[in-house]
Chains A and B, each alone.
Chain A
Amino acid sequence: ECPSGIVNEENFKQIYSQFFPQGDSSTYATFLFNAFDTDHDGSVSFEDFVSGLSVILRGTIDDRLNWAFNLYDLNKDGCITKEEMLDIMKSIYDMMGKYTYPAMREEAPREHVENFFQKMDRNKDGVVTIEEFLESCQKDENIMRSMQLFDNVI
């Protein structure tokens, strides 16, 4: 797939579009690409790829949560704002496509973000910092359990 040894954003988007054919996964692919592209040089090299994967698959829960936070934090400034979250949420919903049951509503991402912030934002300051994020996730059973499920992906 990548004979040159690096993945660029286009490749990434294509790959994801094959996995999620019904919806538009390009935005999410971009975000994900940025999360993997740790040195922000516009391409994911094999080292980046492997290090990302090793965190996800073999890291501790905290490492994974960290990685997730990194994914959500679009501008990599250490905190997630509502807008960033909204962008991510919209991109995830976009991947589902139009033909969903129940039908997708416009406000669904926004509502979802509100829920998320309610859960995560302890001091209600409108942003979620890494500590808040880690704390809230560790308290949430569902999230913990889901994290463990993904132990066996590879």
Chain B
Amino acid sequence: MAAGVAAWLPFARAAAIGWMPVANCPMPLAPTEKNKRQDELIILNVSGRRFQTWRTTLERYPDTLLGSTEKEFFFNEDTKEYFFDRDPEVFRCILNFYRTGKLHYPRYECISAYDEELAFYGILPEIIGDCCYEEYKDRKRENAERLMDDNDSENNQEGSMPSLSFRQTMWRAFENPHTSTLALVFYYVTGFFIAVSVITNVVETVPCGTVPGNKELPCGERYAVAFFCLDTACVMIFTVEYLLRLFAAPSRYRFIRSVMSIIDVVAIMPYYIGLVMTNNEDVSGAFVTLRVFRVFRIFKFSRHSQGLRILGYTLKSCASELGFLLFSLTMAIIIFATVMFYAEKGSSASKFTSIPASFWYTIVTMTTLGYGDMVPKTIAGKIFGSICSLSGVLVIALPVPVIVSNFSRIYHQNQRADKRRAQKKARLARIRVAKTGSSNAYLHSKRNGLLNEALELTGSTEDEQQMTKGTSLIESQHHHLLHCLEKTTGLSYLVDDPLLSVRTSTIKNHEFIDEQLFEQNCMESSMQNYPSSRSPSLSSHHGLTTSCCSRRNKKTTHLPNSSVPATRLRSMQELSTIHIQCSEQPSLTTSRSSLNMKSDDGLRPNCKTAQITTAIISIPTPPALTPEGESRPPPSSPSHSTNISTTTTSNIVKVSAL
């Protein structure tokens, strides 16, 4: 309700006295204000900028953070103000919403930052005023598209899940050749054969030398057998490829209807039809025409070239502009052809025999080709001819920039996606370095700390002083925290093997993480049993650790231990210990992906969350990781297979190199 009308509210309430005598039941109590005194001025301190407003202004919208008692959480007793550690620029808009009832979206603001602020203050974006709503929606859509692109490309880049069926892996291999070397090989082979096929088609028609008989033969007939063999080979490959794709497609019906499959079919059909048909004179003419369709093989390249795909997509998205172009051209052609025909009717021996015959002249003139096979001779004809060519230039020039800009936009989007992917990879690599660095630091200090304790026992204090000097306050607090956790879980780090310092540090990281993970997850009884039974397994697995780590690339090390779990508990234990020791830090993308997948794989979620919790622990890690960690509480105890994908192993190699 607008503020102006709100001023009338007391009047309406007073006038409500008119209802009372006729009311059947007593009136409800009037809302009593907590403070009968004057409206209170509230101070809102947003990151240092102080905003002041009346309390009632805020209470106009009681279902938001500021309008309800939720803001009491932010009340600072000492300064008697509400302190929010948020962006003051956006807060200005939000406060204006309370004052005027209209929420505006400032153009300079980033859409996701704005959304976050709105979400924090409990305001629905739908109430953005009409003046700014369209802009908001546009930006939001753009952002969503961009994010979707990212997610799509990420999903495509994940390591293949072990639990995909053969068919699914095949389909992935077809769609994205970078998933495995076999797919890449297949990709290049088909590309090669497409090229060979196209070249043979072209070379077939080149005249190559004369045969005695004074006839120039095209190569196709001279070396008929060779070309036939080549053709057969290519068609074989294409057929096999098509059948494989058909088999692997998740939705066969949709696959059959897709453009690429139609091109495939059209490309190989002529060959089979040619085989089937006999060498009849009358049908061979038709057969020859069919051979034309072999040229469609060149379209198969679009699977290999992204540029082609972009071009095709652009044309599709500019369909309306193209349609307009075509329509206007047709109109102009008909008009000018008619005019030229009638203008040239008078002249003798004119080539403009009919209006359709003039079409050719009009098209050639409008596109400024000007072959010169048909030329107007009368003056009127020449005048109209020049008008025709001028207008042709205009009509064609108009829709073309639209098409060009569409192409450019799509192309840049693609480039942007690629660039983002590359940046993400670089960032993840950096993060990994930071992570191992921090975990190293902890273990280093721990070793020193243990050394400390040992020394304490022996009474020496020198090293102690050294150690305490070395660590900063944050580090020491961090280490203290990790130490507390160790004490809580009753588990501890293995620090005895200095040779494998780097590796063990990462391992311990994982162990620790595992502990933390379990602690986080399982407040259940499983944890109680866990620590006790773990220590023996720990020590027994220590050897396994080293061996495992030294043979990182072998997946099989953990298999013997990860036998079919009898109970959930035990399996968790086994899986966790082994897994942790052998696990590596796959990139975050894989972690995300495997969290997304069905966690059939108990290892996998543990592993991933291991990564994520690492992020929480290690301070230098960019905060981007932490939300992931928190938002994904590791699913406790699902199951049981223990394969680590090859990508993980490849990542293992990477990390150890770090």
Contact = CB atoms under 8 A, between A and B. Distances in A.
Contacts of A149: 27, 29-30
A92 B22 contact: yes
Nearest to B14: A56
B14 A153 contact: yes
B4 A153 contact: no
Interface residues of B, number: 28
B14 A143 contact: no
B17 A147 contact: yes
A133 B14 contact: no
A84 B75 CA distance: 55
**Which of A15, A35, A116 is the most central at the interface, judged by chain B CB atoms within 10 Å of its CB?**
A15
Given A149-B27, A150-B30, A153-B30, A1 B5 contact: yes
A146 B1 contact: no
Interface in A51-71: 53, 56-57, 64-65, 67-69, 71
B15 A32 contact: yes
Interface in A116-154: 116, 120, 133, 137, 142-143, 145-147, 149-150, 152-154
Interface string B5-36: 10111111111111111111111011010000
Contact of A65 (B13, B21, B27): B21
A57 B18 CA distance: 12
By secondary structure, the B interface counts as helix
A19 B1 contact: yes
A15 B14 contact: no
A53 B17 CA distance: 11
Given A19-B1, A35-B18, A68-B17, A142 B26 contact: yes
Contacts, number: 85
Interface-centre pick from A65, A88, A115, A146 (highest chain B CB count, 10 A): A146
A89 B22 contact: yes
A18 interface: yes
A19 B23 contact: no
B13 to A, nearest CB: 5
Given A16-B12, A146-B26, A152-B30, A32 B5 contact: no
A93 to B, nearest CB: 11
A76 interface: no
A96 to B, nearest CB: 12
A64 B30 CA distance: 17
A112 interface: yes
A68 B21 contact: yes
B14 A57 contact: yes
A34 to B, nearest CB: 11
Contact of A67 (B17, B24, B26, B30): B17
A150 B12 CA distance: 12
B371 to A, nearest CB: 73
Contacts of A69: 21
Contacts of B7: 1
A137 B337 CA distance: 95
Given A68-B17, A146-B27, A153-B30, A15 B8 contact: yes
A32 B16 CA distance: 10
A137 B478 CA distance: 76
A16 B15 CA distance: 11
Interface of B: 1-2, 4-5, 7-27, 29-30, 32
Given A67-B18, A116-B21, 16 more contacts: A18-B1, A19-B8, A19-B9, A32-B18, A35-B15, A56-B14, A68-B18, A72-B18, A85-B22, A88-B22, A112-B24, A145-B26, A146-B23, A150-B13, A152-B30, A152-B32
30 contacts: A1-B8, A15-B5, A15-B12, A32-B15, A32-B18, A53-B11, A67-B17, A68-B21, A69-B21, A72-B18, A72-B21, A72-B22, A85-B22, A92-B22, A112-B22, A143-B23, A145-B26, A145-B27, A146-B20, A146-B26, A146-B27, A147-B20, A149-B29, A150-B14, A150-B17, A150-B20, A150-B27, A152-B30, A153-B10, A153-B14
